[in-house]
Amino acid sequence: MDTPYSQSGQDPTQQQGLLQILQQIQAIQNRPLIPDNPLSQLGAALQGASAGFAGQPNPAVAQAMAQRQQQLSGLSQTAGVLGQIGTIKQQEATLTETRRARAVQEKAEERAGKTEERLRQETSLKFADDAWKKALELGDPNTGAVAYETLSKEKPGFWPPMPAEKIKALLTDKIGREDFRKNQVGMAAAAYLGEATYLGRPIPDDVRNMPKRALALMAGKTETQLLHGSLEEWEISLRKKVALAGGFDNLSPEERAEYFALVGRNATDAKDAAISDMQADIAKYGKTQKPIGGYFRTARQRQDLSPSLRQQLKLDGLDPDTASTQQMNEAEGRYRSKVIADSTAKDLRQSAQQEYNFRLGHKDKKQDQRFRYMPTEEVRKLAMGDPNALLQLLDALRVTVKPGAETPAAAASGEPVLKNGKTMEQTIQDGMSGGASRAEVETEVLRLRKAGKL
């Protein structure tokens, strides 16, 4: 929104008033002293002649001049006041702009100072961390003691305060410093995974609240390496449990399932997939959402999906490579129900065909006692694969079925019925009857389901 002041800081109304006054002064100065009409000029001339004989100036001219000076004096005072007001406004605007610019500059300098200080601290911390890692690797007590003291002031949770003598003793103990290094990496990995404890003890706040990237840097590993290390620790722990328990039969059902997944084929690929899932959860939630073994089992389950189960997941609108354990289990249940239903329907159809052929007089066929009370026409429909034949058979067996609720295949398989009253497979078969390929029909059916039309 525009303000009533110009960029110079002056009020436009003040400027206009000052201009008008200057124009009035100019008009008065350019105006004749004696009005331009015959009577005024005659009066001034007579007064001038009379005063001239007495040796005095023309009183008409003096009077007009005095009146003009009075008008000009008043206007000049008003113009001076307006000019001073404009100058004050301009000075105030200039001062305000100067203060604003100074505030912006001070904030920028403050931000730059904070950034510079943060970078200085990070550089100092990284320099000390590099020196500590080198001293830890070589067993240099003097360099290590100085570096450790610096690091302990910054992150006492990651580098617990210790006397210089104890630090030097640690650095001269090869086994001790290796254990210390592993403990730091393990704590960083646990904090990276979003866990609150490590080795049964709470993780210090200054470690748990460190950025993920910083945790990896302090541990001397990349984020992916941290996750790899966590997965390897889980694997070692699980194998130790098997050894201590005297065999996998003595493990809990969950641990037994994890162990079988671990020793199976393509375990390396499953580890990579598990790490990818862990990274996705950490990026989304800031921590892992289930135990590491759970990620590995899910990855193995995806690997072991049969082509039929992968196809079932696709029909359900799910990606087999990202499906959860629950989604895979549900898809497997639906697929098995479908297989059982199809097998039962096939057997029933073959038996009906045999019974129908027997009734037609084929002596090489035996009568099927299950159909002896069913009319021949109904047996023929069932033998020919009539969609309503199964419902009719159930009616003949006095099984109550709600009419119109499900199609025969849905009743047999337990598959969910779409809005068109048919199962997914029936809808696909109907589409393929028009000459389209299965892939084309599946794509269209999935699109309609997502759009809420099926």
Cβ pair 389, 408 in contact under 8 A: yes
Element housing 84 (H / E): helix 59-138
Domain that holds residue 426: 419-454
The CA angle 337-356-385, to the nearest 5 degrees, is 35
pTM: 0.45
pLDDT of 283 reads: 86
pLDDT of 171 reads: 87
87: in domain: no
Residue 60: closest CA among 78, 74, 42, 47: 47
Cβ pair 266, 299 in contact under 8 A: no
426: in domain: yes
- Take residue 237 and report the two structure tokens written for it: 């722990």
104: in domain: no
75: in domain: no
16: in domain: no
Residue 144: closest CA among 176, 168, 169: 168
End-to-end CA distance of the chain: 54
pLDDT of 252 reads: 83
Domain count for the chain: 1
Cβ pair 365, 358 in contact under 8 A: yes
Alpha-carbon span 46 to 433, nearest angstrom: 126
Alpha-carbon span 337 to 154, nearest angstrom: 61
Cβ pair 390, 408 in contact under 8 A: yes
- Take residue 324 and report the two structure tokens written for it: 């959860």
Alpha-carbon span 292 to 275, nearest angstrom: 9
pLDDT tens for each residue of the chain, 454 residues long: 444 444 444 455 555 566 676 666 666 666 665 666 665 555 555 555 555 545 556 666 666 666 667 666 766 666 665 666 667 667 777 878 888 888 887 777 777 666 676 677 667 777 788 888 888 888 888 888 888 888 888 888 888 898 988 988 888 888 888 888 888 888 888 888 888 888 888 998 888 888 888 888 878 888 888 888 888 888 888 888 888 888 877 888 888 878 777 876 667 778 888 888 888 888 888 888 888 888 888 888 888 788 888 888 888 888 888 888 888 888 888 888 777 767 777 787 888 888 888 888 877 777 777 777 778 887 888 788 766 666 555 555 554 433 334 444 444 445 567 777 777 777 877 776 666 777 777 777 777 877 777 7
pLDDT of 395 reads: 54
Alpha-carbon span 255 to 238, nearest angstrom: 8
Q: Which residues contact 178 (CB under 8 A, 6 or more apart)?
A: none
Query: What's the chain's length in residues?
Result: 454
130: in domain: no
pLDDT of 399 reads: 44
pLDDT of 143 reads: 85
432: in domain: yes
Which 3 state secondary structure label does DSSP give 212?
helix
- Take residue 84 and report the two structure tokens written for it: 């001073």
pLDDT of 412 reads: 47
427: in domain: yes
Q: Give the CA dihedral 36, 40, 44, 47, nearest 10 degrees.
A: 180
Q: Which residue has the tokens 């110079």?
A: 8
